[in-house]
Amino acid sequence: MTLTAYIFGVAAALGTLAVVVEMLRRNRLRERHAVWWLIAGTMALIVGLFPGVLAWAANLIGIEVPTNLVFFVSVAVLFLVCIQHSAELTALESKTRILAEQAALTRLRIEELERELRKSSD
Amino acid sequence: MSTVLDRTLIVMPAFNEQESVRDVVVEVLSELPGVACLVVDDGSTDSTAQQARAGGAMVARLPFNLGVGGAMRVGFRYAVDHGFDNVVQIDSDGQHDPANVRALLERLQSADLVLGARFAGSGNYVVRGPRRWAMVVLSIFLSRAARTRLTDTTSGFRASGPRAVRLFADHYPAEYLGDTIESLVIAARAKCIIAQVPVSMRPRAGGKPSHNPFKAAAYLGRAIMALLFALIRPPLPLHSKEGVS
């Protein structure tokens, strides 16, 4: 591996981590959503700094080309994050739905009360 | 003495039904004296709510379209909050004859959920192709789940008794097709007694039923999906405490 490739790998990992941490700091990202990105960024940084770790891990699982381990882990992380987002979306939709239902009932109640008020004031 | 009609809430989900909703409300109120009629305006962009009010119904307006399931949840919630024992769902397009409601309520005395079935002898309602197959498959599986013979499981004309109303107020499914298929599974799993009564259908007052074979095939697929997922979900208890669903 050339020195530039090494620096590029470390810089990319640092950049990713910096973006996530900065968004967390500005409250643009909640911790529960940031966890996966922090884990992924940290793993990228470790592998970037110590490429030997990657080769060791690949050898441990029996993957011949270490880069394939990188691809596998990346896809797995993206997949899990996507599923988490779908679940969150489902939860949000059901909360919106419940709010809409209650808004409809509240509105009906207000209209009923207004009618009674008008009747009693006549 | 309060009659069964006084304790019954008619719920009509309505989405852009300004042509028919008023006539249906007027007919329901004159056919069934003493009954309360709640139209749930499911995010209509036309004058459905005004028309329904002009007909004499109470109107709950949803801020956006939720589908029949969401609209019915509002109806069941309203029934529980205002102490109604029974809820009868009627389509706002005039397909269902309010005269049949008495038969449904009659049957409700020995059942928790009564379906108005369109194929059980009364009237002449015919469906063909994938939509027909879907109905056959659904009726086989749901009849088994409900431990009684059901021929028209996707009927939107149904009456729920006190036990079913309480169950549905908390757990009525809002998914597409959940209001017909999954709600039956939920009721059957909660040991509700399900029955059906033959009803006749009338041609819709407004709008045409679709006969697109692709849509019908997609309907078949979605119906089977909805059924499968309903069957593998954990069953719900009949008397659950106020939980956030």
Q: Which residues of chain A make contact with B76, given a CB cutoff of 8 A?
A: none
**What percentage of chain B carries pLDDT values higher than 90?**
53
> For the segment B39-84, what is each residue's pLDDT rounded down to a tens digit?
999 999 999 999 999 999 999 999 999 999 999 999 999 999 999 9
Q: What is the DSSP letter of A1?
A: -
Pairing mode of beta strands B113-117, B194-198: parallel
Pick from B62, B174, B245: which is nearest to A104 by CB?
B62
CA distance B238 to chain A (A): 21
**What percentage of chain A carries pLDDT values higher than 70?**
100
Output the six-digit token pair for B35: 């009954």
pLDDT at A107 over 90: yes
Phi–psi pair at B150, nearest 5 degrees:
-115, 125
Pick from A97, A107, A112: which is nearest to B66 by CB?
A97
Cβ-defined contact of A98 to B64 (cutoff 8 Å) = no
Output the six-digit token pair for B182: 């999954």
Closest CA in chain A for residue B173: A94
Lowest mean pLDDT among A97-111, B9-23, B202-216: B202-216
CB pairs under 8 A between A and B: 39
Lowest mean pLDDT among B59-63, B114-118, B211-215: B211-215
State how far the Cα of B231 lies from the Cα of B238, in Å rounded to an integer: 17
Query: Using an 8 Å Cβ cutoff, are B143 and B150 in contact?
Result: yes
- Which domains, and CATH codes, for chain B? 8-232 (3.90.550.10)
Please state the rounded mean pLDDT for residues B21-27: 94
pLDDT at B205 over 80: no
pLDDT at residue B213 in the model: 75
The whole-angstrom distance between residue A103's C-alpha and the CA centroid of its chain comes to: 30
Lowest mean pLDDT among A71-80, B68-77, B219-228: B219-228
Mean pLDDT over all residues of chain A? 92
Query: Using an 8 Å Cβ cutoff, are A47 and A14 in contact?
Result: no
ipTM of the complex: 0.81
CA distance B38 to chain A (A): 10
Cβ-defined contact of B74 to A104 (cutoff 8 Å) = yes
